[in-house]
Structure 1
Amino acid sequence: MKKIRRLIILSLFIITLAPFSDTCFAQDLAENPFVRDIYTADPSAHVWADGRLYVYPSHDIAPARGCDLMDQYHVYSTDDMVHWKDHGEILRASQVPWGRKEGGFMWAPDCAYKNGTYYFYFPHPSDTKWDNSWKIGVATSKSPASGFKVQGYIEGLESMIDPCVFVDDDGQAYFYYGGGGICKGGKLKDNMVEIDGEMKTMEGLQDFHEATFVHKRNGIYYLSYSDNHDVGNEKNQMRYATSKSPLGPWTYQGIFMDATDSYTNHGSIVEFKGQWYSFYHNSALSHQDWERSICVDKLYYNPDGTIKKVIPTGKQN
């Protein structure tokens, strides 16, 4: 009888705690994908001085036709990883004076901050023959999520995509871009729109495809990227390499995220309020390769600084 009574008390205790447990879980992270009213991809996440986390994704336009329709960048931010604010559109192809007249092709962007100005970097072709006319445009603003005006593009670069700008602790900014198996990096001048010196190939990466993103932790630089694991029914995985220098040489470390249900993947890694996060995209809402949606999950490190495998959560059909 005493055992039965104990079981009843224990059951009631668990039932009482259940709602609180669910609440804690629900308030931990928003459900993936966390943007559901439009299609978004290629999330670049940054934490700025106001204490909020901002995400700068690309925008897939429905109905799905292909990557040529991508346009109209939005910005999202949060202060708790649960409630996300859409700050609205900040830039579209028709606002790019040197852009292709047909528009579209506003692919994966990035954003950086220096000396009171936010710099929004975006790839866009300047010609109808888009595949060999890519330029890395720069728009600036005094606000992280509005008021961006196109200033031009970074001159002297090859026709490649996926800009990434990393600002080190000493204020020196580094620019990376790539695509088609090539990743290059170099220093930016203080004006953030000119390359200082030469761009050089990043050495030590294995199976690099695109989607360069650089972050720093405990004095170690991490370069993450999307691989070429896209033959047949396979899809892109996310890999990374480490270095003691922002320009390498890099030591390949492995895969930190398996393929999602999307043909592509492209993401970023950022620390927010003491927790590291991995941002990425999938096709869980649309089941279409060119109607993607951005997601986020917690990321953890091993004692030796390597990254533990990120297991995507949320809808993965």
Structure 2
Amino acid sequence: MKNFKVNTKRPICIWMKYIMLMCCNSLVLGCKMQKATEKTAENPFIRNMYTADPSAHVWKDGRLYVYPSHDVDPPRGCDLMDQYHVFSTDDMVQWKDHGEILRASQVPWGRKEGGFMWAPDCAYKNGMYYFYFPHPSGTQWNKTWKVGIAISKKLASDFKVVGYLELGDDNYAMIDPCVFIDEDGQAYFYYGGGERCAGGKLKDNMSEIASPMIFMEGLKDFHEATWVFKRKGIYYLTYADNHRQGNKGANRLSYATSTKPLGPWTYRGVYLDSTGCDTSHGSVVEYKGQWYAFYHNSILSGRGNLRSIAVDKLNFNKDGTIQKITQTGIVQRQVEDKKN
């Protein structure tokens, strides 16, 4: 009887090929799923009304919320802006309008003529949501700015005005409030308008300044629209600059970095070119492992005072600097306009 040898290598090879094939299929499926979750809605992503100055936050329910201002149609300028809505998403594609949360007539100390409900911000601490909004208290709007505070236990409804921040007698261009809460729980308040940017610590009650406001140092060509966030130990302050193209306003979004929340800051450059509006205003937030930059443009209306909010992915270089954003949605609209 001849010796019969069992080929043990062949079954092992077959199983190895099978396992490798399954792994490859899993990787492909995983990549497809990742690409699916990375999709964003077509810009502008809010089309049922005109919106601007988006303040984006991720809250404990896992959704991403945007608190913008509202441009009134037909426009007369930014003086008619009179109310705030809230929008949210859990996939960056489908957006929910939670409705109106506040308007000028609900501000007891506000100017009798209403309007001037400009860029807001929202923060969460101590089981409460704090909504900060700029609004004048008198007819001479640019000399009577205050930063109002409305609070609610809900993140998109039932806000009630409880007062305003006491920031001293210098009320000029006290607009575009921003609240940043650091990892240690300390909250910081910033505002920025009229080519100056100020910041200071907030008390734990989120309604009083804990230290005197100081003007931020190191910012280049600051105009307005302060936004502060932190990534990998680096503090970022983004803002609209004073860039002009001819006689038409064309602010860009620039940024600076620091190792401290109140600076001094080091200017790093422009991360978003002009969006076609007379103004620019943005926010930056991380959601499900991807960073996003929110801003506004005038794609839908073609008018700088009828704006719409948009969002694009924001990426960083290894040294922490921001890669310039490629705006989506603009090219498509320009092509359509040329055809028409």
TM-score by length of 1: 0.91
Secondary structure at the residue paired with 2:244? coil
- After TM superposition, the structure 1 = structure 2 runs for residues 62-211 of structure 1, keeping only pairs within 5 Å, are 62-157=73-168, 158-159=170-171, 160-211=174-225
Taking only aligned residues, the RMSD between alpha carbons, in angstroms, comes to 1.6
Cα distance change, pair 26–301 in 1 and its aligned pair in 2 (3 A): closer
Corresponding residue number in structure 1 for 2:243: 229
| Paired letter, 2:111 | R
Whether the aligned pair in 1 keeps the contact of 2:37 and 2:91 (CA below 8 Å) is no
What percentage of aligned pairs have identical amino acids?
Answer: 69
Query: What is the deviation of 1:234?
Result: 4.7
SS of residue in 2 equivalent to 1:162 = coil
1-structure distance, mates of 2:167, 2:43: 39
Between the aligned partners of 1:96 and 1:289, the Cα distance in structure 2 is 27
1:212 is aligned to 2:226: yes
CA deviation profile, 1:229-276 (whole Å, cap 9, x unmatched): 135135000000000000000010000010011111101000000000
Deviation at 1:156, TM superposition (A): 2.8
Query: What's the secondary structure of 1:68's corresponding residue?
Result: helix
Q: Which runs of 5+ in 1 are unaligned?
A: 1-20
Q: Secondary structure at the match of 2:213?
A: strand
- Structure 2 residue aligned with 1:285, among 300, 310, 314? 300
State the SS of the aligned residue for 2:79. Answer: helix
37 and 26 in structure 1: CA distance in 2 versus 1, 3 angstrom threshold:
farther
Counterpart position of 2:261: 246
Please give the alpha-carbon distance, in whole angstroms, between the structure 2 residues aligned to 1:27 and 1:276: 11
Q: What letter is aligned with 1:164? A: C
Name the CA distance, whole Å, in 2 between partners of 1:216 and 1:26: 24
| Displacement after TM superposition at 1:72 (Å) | 1.1
Q: Which has the larger radius of gyration?
A: 2
Matching of residue 308 in structure 1 with residue 332 in structure 2: no
Distance across 2 between alignment mates of 1:184 and 1:72: 25
By how many angstroms is 1:71 displaced? 1.4
* Contact 1:27 1:82 (8 Å CA) reproduced: no
* Whole-angstrom CA distance in 2 between matches of 1:184 and 1:229: 21
* Cα distance in 2 between the residues matched to 1:304 and 1:86: 38
Shift of 1:80: 0.5
Deviation at 1:50, TM superposition (A): 0.8
Q: Note if contact 1:230-1:263 (Cα within 8 Å) is conserved in structure 2.
A: no
Give me the whole-angstrom Cα distance separating, in 2, the residues matched to 1:76 and 1:298: 18
Farther off after superposition, 296-305 or 152-161: 152-161
Does the CA contact (< 8 Å) of 2:249 and 2:279 recur in 1? no
Distance 1:27 1:268 in 2: 19
User: For residues 196-228 of structure 1, what are the alpha-carbon distances to aligned partners after superposition, in whole Å with 9 as ceiling and x for unaligned?
Assistant: 120001000000000000000001000000001
Task: Find the counterpart in structure 2 of residue 58 from structure 1.
Answer: 69
Distance of 1:27 and 1:178 partners within structure 2:
32
State the match for 1:43 in structure 2.
54
Partner Cα separation in structure 2 for residue 193 and residue 210 of structure 1: 22
Output the CA distance in 2 between the equivalents of 1:224 and 1:50. 26
| Residue 297 (structure 1) aligned to one of 303, 312, 316 | 312
| Equivalent of residue 42 in structure 2, options 22, 31, 39 | 31
| Secondary structure, counterpart of 2:226 in structure 1 | strand
Give, in angstroms, the shift of residue 26 of structure 1.
9.8
Counterpart of 2:116, as a letter, is F
After TM superposition, what 4+ stretches of structure 1 lie above 3 angstroms from structure 2?
24-27
The whole-number CA distance in structure 1 between the counterparts of 2:37 and 2:269 is: 31
Whole-angstrom distance in 2 between the partners of 1:93 and 1:99: 7
Q: How does 1:264-279 map to 2 (within 5 A)?
A: 264-279=279-294
Aligned length: 297
> CA separation in 1, counterparts of 2:269 and 2:130?
31
Equivalent AA in structure 1 for residue 68 of structure 2: P
